[in-house]
């Protein structure tokens, strides 16, 4: 005959087995998602490497020189003249330092004209 303790222990074993299998399948599903994301990351990194190689090929100086010669009439490119480079005296002057505004001294109570003197950082009296 089964005692109540035996029945409780059997139920606990069944419950733990159920929880264990549930966790196991949950972890396997998560692991599959991680592997899929890692594959996607590897694919994107390969695409980035391919695009960098393509950019290096397209930006070769010899290729750019050939394109500049071929499209010289349409682009109307000329070498930079020394007059196009500005000197220091041709640059706009640096903005002068702001003048400090003299504020009335803080006093307790009211000003002589009857207004309340409260000076904040954003409002000048």
Torsion of CA 39, 43, 49, 50, to 10 degrees: 160
DSSP secondary structure letter of residue 85: S
CA distances to 52, 55, 110, 114 from 41, in Å: 16, 21, 69, 72
pLDDT in tens, 12-70: 999 999 999 999 999 999 999 999 999 999 999 999 999 999 999 999 999 988 888 88
pLDDT category of residue 121 using cuts at 50, 70 and 90: low
pLDDT score for 47:
95
Convert the pLDDT of each residue in 59-103 to its tens digit.
999 998 888 888 888 888 888 887 778 777 888 888 888 887 665
Predicted TM-score (pTM) of the model is 0.46
Residues near 104 by beta carbon (within 8 Å), at least 6 away in sequence: 111, 117, 125
């Amino acid at each position: 005959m089964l005692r109540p303790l035996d029945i409780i222990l059997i139920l606990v074993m069944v419950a733990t087995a159920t929880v264990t299998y549930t966790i196991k399948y949950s972890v396997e599903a998560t692991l599959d998602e991680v592997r899929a994301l890692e594959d996607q990351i590897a694919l994107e990194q390969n695409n980035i490497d391919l695009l960098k190689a393509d950019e290096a090929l397209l930006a070769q100086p010899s290729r750019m020189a050939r394109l500049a010669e071929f499209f010289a009439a349409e682009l109307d490119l000329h070498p930079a003249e020394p007059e196009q480079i500005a000197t220091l005296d041709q640059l706009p002057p640096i903005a002068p330092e702001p003048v400090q505004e003299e504020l009335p001294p803080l006093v307790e109570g009211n000003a002589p004209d009857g207004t309340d003197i409260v000076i904040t950082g954003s409002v000048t009296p």
